[in-house]
Structure 1
Amino acid sequence: MHAVRLHTFGPAENLTYESVPRPTPAPGQVRIAVAAAGVHLLDTSLRRGVQGPPAPLPALPTVPGREVAGTVDALGPGTDPAWLGRTVVVHLGFAPGGYAEYAVADADRLHPVPTGLDPATAVAMIGTGRTTLGILQFADLGPGSVALVPAAAGGIGTLLVQYAKHTGATVIALAGGPAKTARATANGADLALDYTRPDWADTVRAHHPDGATVLFDSVGGATARTALDLLADGALHLVFGWSAGPIPLTEADRTALQARSVTTLNVLGPAMLRRAGGNDPLRLLETRALAEAAAGRLRPALQRYPLGEAATAHRDLENRATTGKVVLEP
């Protein structure tokens, strides 16, 4: 089979498309003939050798990738035979192996792909979708809400815009450039603005002088700093990323936000799992995400690449040249 391997940490060019033996499923596992493999921004950090939460650096050489969908073609000893031949999707957790024509996974992590969903959509929902549903646990959205969504054309941003509109909230979407703002508008945003333009904040104030009630912040940096000034008193600032770096806040800024009762919550990791509850909160969020897509309420944006072009996919993702969830297809 073919797989994408990483022998040395470094630039995207270190990802090589090679012939390797097919993996053999262990007891309790299945082997999946992969139809779609998800690419996550975290994958690019691990490829560079950047150590940080939540995933440890892999042992080299490695086949990256932690989200796959496809057809079960082989079973390990003791695995339920009912899985054979089924179309499934799975998040591999911290185990790599997704950028390949075949991958192995624990049977107890599998989800059947709902009828009507293609594998790429299922892959987007098992990772990006579950994170989106986890973030939304912290926001009580409804007709009186005004949601401010930076990176609104990205994987999570696309789903946040759709979900917020489904609740009746007003959505202000921020994205880089006219093509991405057009996508945000197509997803239902009431106001879609190019955050690279210097007047975007003035436009928000003109349309919503009372301010936004929730900021879904995956960006940080100067954009988030400006967005904080656009929040209403008592608003929520939900943080789940910092692609542009830390927010440049002074002590006076923090005091002013506190006086306005703006609450900042970091919603990834343990906070998200506690809010989801249950014995297996990640699986619960995965199930909810797949159900939302199957019902048509969430439609992930997809950018597809052939498996052999994984290096190009990584470069484009790092350079913010992608829209939505990046998926590799063998």
Structure 2
Amino acid sequence: MRAIRLHAFGPAENLTHEEVEAPRPGPGQVRIAVEAAGVHLLDTAVREGVQGPLPELPALPTIPGREVAGTVESLGEGVAALWLGKRVVAHLGFAPGGYAELAVTDVDRVHETPANLDAAQAVAMIGTGRTTMGILQFARLGPDSVALVPAAAGGIGTLLVQYAKNAGATVIGLAGGPEKVAHVQANGADLAVDYNDPTWPEKVRAHLGGRHATVVFDGVGGDITPQALAFLGPGGQHLVFGWSAQGRQDTTRHFVEGVSEQVLGPVMMRKAGGPSPVRTLELRALTEAAAGRLTPAVHRFPLAEAAAAHRALQTRATIGKVVLEP
């Protein structure tokens, strides 16, 4: 089979498209003919040799990728025959192996793909959608809400805008560049502005007409955070789930009385509850997409162009979830 392998930590060019031996499913596992593999910022960190949230870096050479969708084409011992031939999606956990034509995972990780989703959309919901559902557990959204979404053209941002609009909220989306701003506007935001324009806070202020934001969904950090927090009023929420721009800042001086800040991480899993909180959030995400309430944005690359996909993701040249298609 063809796969992307990493032989040495370093730049995106270290990702090579090669012929490798196909994996075999062990007991309790299925092998998936991959139609789409998710690319995550964590993948770029691991490629560079940064451990991040992983227990440890993978042994080299390795096939990166932790999110796949496709069709079950082989079963390991003990797996029910009904899985054979099913369209499925799975998050592989900390085990790599997704950037390939074939991938193996435990059957307990697999979900049947909703009929109205293609493989790339299913991959977006199993990873990005799962995280979005985790974030939204903490958000108070309704017809009186004003949600401000930095990075609104990203995979998570796209879904947050849709969910907040479905709840009746006024949604302000921030994005970098005309193409991304157009995407945010078309996605349903009441106002989409370019955060590269230094006058963007004035445009938001004029649109709100004296109203305050009630929630800031912050996965960006950097200089945008204090500017966004200036719009929060008493009782507002600052929900932090990343700082992809320039790192996390001290935000306390920007808060008015009664504003709360929550830094989300493992707490999302605890709140989801159940015997498998991760699976709970995955099911919620897939259910929202199957019902047509959430539609992920997808930026597709051929599998052989994994290096280009990594570069585009790291330079913010993508819209929505980045996927590789063999």
Q: Is the 8 A contact 2:229 2:254 kept in 1?
A: no
Deviation at 1:255, TM superposition (A): 4.8
Map Cα deviations across residues 187-222 of structure 1 (whole Å, 9 max, x no partner).
100010000011111111222223100000000010
Which residue of structure 1 lines up, in the alignment, with residue 203 of structure 2? 203
Give RMSD over aligned pairs: 1.1
Q: 1:283 aligns with which of 276, 279, 282?
A: 279
* CA–CA distance in structure 1, aligned partners of residues 96 and 125 of structure 2: 18
- 2:299 corresponds to 1:308: no
Percentage of matched positions with identical amino acids: 66
* CA–CA distance in structure 1, aligned partners of residues 276 and 157 of structure 2: 25
* CA–CA distance in structure 2, aligned partners of residues 247 and 237 of structure 1: 13
User: 2:319 is aligned with what amino acid?
Assistant: T
Partner of 1:265, secondary structure, is strand
User: 1:261 is aligned with what amino acid?
Assistant: G
- 2:270 corresponds to 1:274: yes
The count of corresponding residues between Structure 1 and Structure 2 is 325
Partner of 2:238, secondary structure, is strand
Q: Is the 8 A contact 1:225 1:247 kept in 2?
A: no
Give the alignment's TM-score, normalised by structure 2: 0.97
Q: Is the 8 A contact 2:226 2:254 kept in 1?
A: no
- 2:260 corresponds to 1:263: yes
- 2:223 corresponds to 1:226: no
Q: Is the 8 A contact 1:2 1:101 kept in 2?
A: yes
Aligned pairs (5 A) from 1:1-330: 1-54=1-54, 56-208=56-208, 209-249=210-250, 254-255=252-253, 257=255, 259-268=256-265, 270-330=266-326
Gaps of 5+ in 1: none
* Greater Cα shift, 101-110 or 48-57: 48-57
User: 2:286 is aligned with what amino acid?
Assistant: L
Map Cα deviations across residues 130-163 of structure 1 (whole Å, 9 max, x no partner).
1001100000211010000000000000000011
Deviation at 1:230, TM superposition (A): 1.2
* CA–CA distance in structure 1, aligned partners of residues 197 and 321 of structure 2: 25
Partner of 1:221, secondary structure, is coil
Using a 3 Å threshold, how does the CA distance of structure 1 residues 55 and 188 change in structure 2: closer, same or farther? farther
Q: Is the 8 A contact 2:86 2:112 kept in 1?
A: yes
- Dislocated runs of 4+, deviation >4 Å: none
* CA–CA distance in structure 1, aligned partners of residues 154 and 249 of structure 2: 23
Deviation at 1:247, TM superposition (A): 4.2
* CA–CA distance in structure 2, aligned partners of residues 325 and 306 of structure 1: 14
Give the alignment's TM-score, normalised by structure 1: 0.96
* CA–CA distance in structure 1, aligned partners of residues 233 and 307 of structure 2: 43
User: 1:76 is aligned with what amino acid?
Assistant: G
Q: Is the 8 A contact 1:222 1:247 kept in 2?
A: no
Deviation at 1:122, TM superposition (A): 0.5
User: 2:195 is aligned with what amino acid?
Assistant: Y
* CA–CA distance in structure 1, aligned partners of residues 116 and 262 of structure 2: 36
Deviation at 1:234, TM superposition (A): 1.5
Q: Is the 8 A contact 2:173 2:192 kept in 1?
A: yes
Partner of 2:32, secondary structure, is strand
* CA–CA distance in structure 1, aligned partners of residues 74 and 32 of structure 2: 7
Map Cα deviations across residues 3-41 of structure 1 (whole Å, 9 max, x no partner).
000000000000000000110001000100001100011
User: 1:254 is aligned with what amino acid?
Assistant: T
* CA–CA distance in structure 2, aligned partners of residues 52 and 155 of structure 1: 20
Gaps of 5+ in 2: none
Q: Is the 8 A contact 2:41 2:314 kept in 1?
A: yes
* CA–CA distance in structure 1, aligned partners of residues 254 and 229 of structure 2: 11
Map Cα deviations across residues 240-297 of structure 1 (whole Å, 9 max, x no partner).
0101123443xxx62562x5221110112x2101111111111011011011111111
